[in-house]
């Protein structure tokens, strides 16, 4: 009870402790998060993803600085930075703060590092819950930095309102760019390190990819009339990801990036996608919890020895895994 109150009053130590409880899925953490839940839903969640070494942390650092400095009433900014856990020891070195030292000393910024703890989607299982805590605590901008993502770590797009995909020159050819996955989730594309040789090639590859990715969204003139290849969808619902060039280490292009992100937020609100994304995210969060709870409840009623026996008969090729599941669900637990 008092923890909830401290959080709402802006107590940073209470906030830090709650984040730990939530990350570790402790009962106290769950209870407090439930109390805080009515206070969520106000923040703009911005995901930042991209391959290792593209400069995600530096870019997040610059974006946060921009949000804090370029407004008379700046929003509080939270950063959730995810780095990978070792698959062997479960340990992790979380190094994103190294590039965020400019943000030290600003009480309106809160940086939290998070280990992925076995999740493969680029964020951790509890990242969404941590983001909810920050949202309730009044952080208007929440930047979520994923692990260095390759091609399929796309979970952040389900969590964030706006997903920024960061590329850098020299990391891949056009075939990389047309593969499914990370480029498809981009709401804003960034070419960071744009002062390096090859930036034009990267931009050209991304542009042609975008044209392939949004063929139905092209508008053209035909017999003097403006036509669109997708007649059912009105133009206002179409968002074509802009490409922004930045040099994060020199703070170049950051204003343009912030502007692109703001435009995307405005577009989401106008088209109704903001609410739709929120609903989809909360729906899938609920579904995941339900699945976990059902599994727990089911396992409570299965004696471990019986479960082991069934695993054993699958291992001996006596029954198939799907027959084993059928038999478990039918109450055959001998």
Partner 1 sequence: MTEKKIRVLVAKPGLDGHDRGAKVVARALRDAGMEVIYTGLRQTPEMIAEAALQEDVDVVGLSILSGAHMALAPRILELLKKNGQDQVKVFIGGIIPDEDMPRLKEMGITGIYGPGASTDDIVKDVREVMKELRNT
The DSSP bridge pattern shows strands 141-145 and 109-115 to be unpaired
**Choice between 67 and 258, CB closer to partner 1:** 67
Give the count of beta carbons closer than 10 Å to the beta carbon of residue 26. 13
Distant-in-sequence, close-in-space partners of 103: CB < 8 Å, separation ≥ 6:
61, 64, 65, 68, 79, 109, 111
**Choice between 1 and 104, CB closer to partner 1:** 104
**Choice between 56 and 264, CB closer to partner 1:** 56
Smallest gap from Cβ 196 to partner 1, in A, equals 23
User: Which of 4, 52, 41, 287 has its CA nearest to residue 172?
Assistant: 52
Smallest gap from Cβ 195 to partner 1, in A, equals 23
Helical spans, DSSP H, in 187-253 = 199-213
19 vs 30, 39, 207, 283, CA distance in Å? 11, 16, 40, 22
**Choice between 13 and 329, CB closer to partner 1:** 13
For helices 12-23 and 127-136, the axis angle rounded to 10 degrees is 160
Smallest gap from Cβ 283 to partner 1, in A, equals 27
Smallest gap from Cβ 24 to partner 1, in A, equals 5
Smallest gap from Cβ 277 to partner 1, in A, equals 28
254 vs 154, 259, 281, CA distance in Å? 24, 8, 28
Distant-in-sequence, close-in-space partners of 60: CB < 8 Å, separation ≥ 6:
48, 79, 81, 96, 99, 100, 143, 145
Q: Measured between alpha carbons, how far is 169 from 156 in angstroms, rounded to an integer?
A: 23
Q: What is the DSSP string of 143-183?
A: EEEPS---SS--HHHHH-SEEEEEE-TTS--HHHHHSSSGG
**Choice between 24 and 233, CB closer to partner 1:** 24
Smallest gap from Cβ 28 to partner 1, in A, equals 12
**Choice between 31 and 213, CB closer to partner 1:** 31
Residues that bind partner 1 (CB under 8 A): 12-13, 16-17, 19-20, 24-26, 85-86, 89-95, 97-98, 101, 104-105, 110-113, 115
**Choice between 126 and 264, CB closer to partner 1:** 126
Smallest gap from Cβ 132 to partner 1, in A, equals 17
**Choice between 17 and 217, CB closer to partner 1:** 17
The values of phi and psi at residue 239, to 5°, are -125, 115
Smallest gap from Cβ 318 to partner 1, in A, equals 33
């Amino acid at each position: 009870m008092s923890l909830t109150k401290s959080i709402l009053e802006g107590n940073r130590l209470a906030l830090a402790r709650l984040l730990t409880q939530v990350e570790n899925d402790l009962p106290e953490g769950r209870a407090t998060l439930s109390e805080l839940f009515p206070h969520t839903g106000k923040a703009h969640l911005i995901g930042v993803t991209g391959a290792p070494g593209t400069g995600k942390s530096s870019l997040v650092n610059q974006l946060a600085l921009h949000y804090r400095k370029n407004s008379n009433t700046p929003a509080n900014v939270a950063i959730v930075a995810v780095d990978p856990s070792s698959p062997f020891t479960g340990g992790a070195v979380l190094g994103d703060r190294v590039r965020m030292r400019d943000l030290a000393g600003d009480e309106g910024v809160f940086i939290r590092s998070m280990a992925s703890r076995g999740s493969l989607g680029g964020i951790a299982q509890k990242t969404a819950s941590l983001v909810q805590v920050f949202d309730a605590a009044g952080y208007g901008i929440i930047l979520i930095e994923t692990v260095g993502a390759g091609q399929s770590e796309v979970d952040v797009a389900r969590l964030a309102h706006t997903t920024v995909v960061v590329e850098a020159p020299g990391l891949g050819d056009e075939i990389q760019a047309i593969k499914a996955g990370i480029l498809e989730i981009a709401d804003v594309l960034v070419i960071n390190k744009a002062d390096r040789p090859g930036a034009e090639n990267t931009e050209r590859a991304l542009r042609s990819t975008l044209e392939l990715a949004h063929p139905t969204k092209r508008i053209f003139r035909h017999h003097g009339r403006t036509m669109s290849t997708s007649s059912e969808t009105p133009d206002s619902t179409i968002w074509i990801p802009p490409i922004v060039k930045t040099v994060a280490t020199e703070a170049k292009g950051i204003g343009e990036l912030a502007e692109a992100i703001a435009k995307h937020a405005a577009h989401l609100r106008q088209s109704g996608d903001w609410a739709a994304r929120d609903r989809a995210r909360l729906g899938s969060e609920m579904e995941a919890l339900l699945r976990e709870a059902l599994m727990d409840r089911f396992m409570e009623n299965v004696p471990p020895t019986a479960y082991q026996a069934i695993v054993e008969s699958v291992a001996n090729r006596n029954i198939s895994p799907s027959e084993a599941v059928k038999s478990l669900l039918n109450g055959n637990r001998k």
